[in-house]
Amino acid sequence: MARSNKERTEATRLALIEAARRLFVERGYAETATPDIVAEAGVTRGALYHHFEDKKALFRAVLEHEAQAVAARIETVSLPAGSPREALLFGASAYFDAMAEPGRTRLLLLEAPAVLGFAGAGAIDRDNAEDTLKEGLSALLGPDIEAARLAALTGLLSAAFDRAAIAIEAGGDRKVYEAAIADLLDGLRA
């Protein structure tokens, strides 16, 4: 059955994202050239620039794809929790599961800030996972928490999750980091 133009366009875009992801993980952003990406994807250079303004825009698309996968994993696992604390702990565990995907920690936590800057990488996180974490913390801490304090706690806890993911990727004991996250959450309610 023949595919529509829309389906072919989306297939080409996805092929570019998948090829770029493989190369960015293997070589890093700086060492990956666009001719290598189009060769890996099996498309023309014109196809690359039809879908993406430049290599950085393609990199951003790769990061958004990864961040969406992480957010989906967290959302799926956190929903059945009985208490706000339990939901946050399930979410933390789901985050560590999602970040165990080979190359994901490098892409989202190391390469993204280096290439897009702290603000650019943070925007991708805000667009995909921050609201879920903020809602969980709000449920844990109650409706009287100040918006500024909630925003600050969300950012700090998100940073703690990221540092833990980097440490786990480097060989740290995941159970120790999950227990530490539980300690942090319990300390918020003290």
Helix (H), strand (E), coil (C) string for 16-53: HHHHHHHHHHHHCCCCCCHHHHHHHHCCCHHHHHHHCC
Sorted by sequence, the CB contacts under 8 Å of residue 13 that are 6+ apart come out as 51, 61
pLDDT grade for 4, boundaries at 50, 70 and 90: confident
Backbone angles phi, psi at 162, to 5 degrees: -65, -45
- pLDDT value at 8 more than 90: no
- pLDDT value at 2 more than 70: no
With vertex at residue 130, the alpha carbon angle to CA 52 and CA 90, rounded to the nearest 5 degrees, is 120
pLDDT grade for 44, boundaries at 50, 70 and 90: very high
pTM for the full model? 0.90
Question: Stretch 114-137: mean pLDDT, rounded?
Answer: 92
What percent of the chain clears pLDDT 90, i.e. is strictly above it? 83
Query: What would you report as the CA-atom Rg of the chain, rounded to the nearest whole angstrom?
Result: 19
Task: Read off the tokens for 105.
Answer: 């920690």
pLDDT grade for 9, boundaries at 50, 70 and 90: confident
- pLDDT value at 189 more than 70: yes
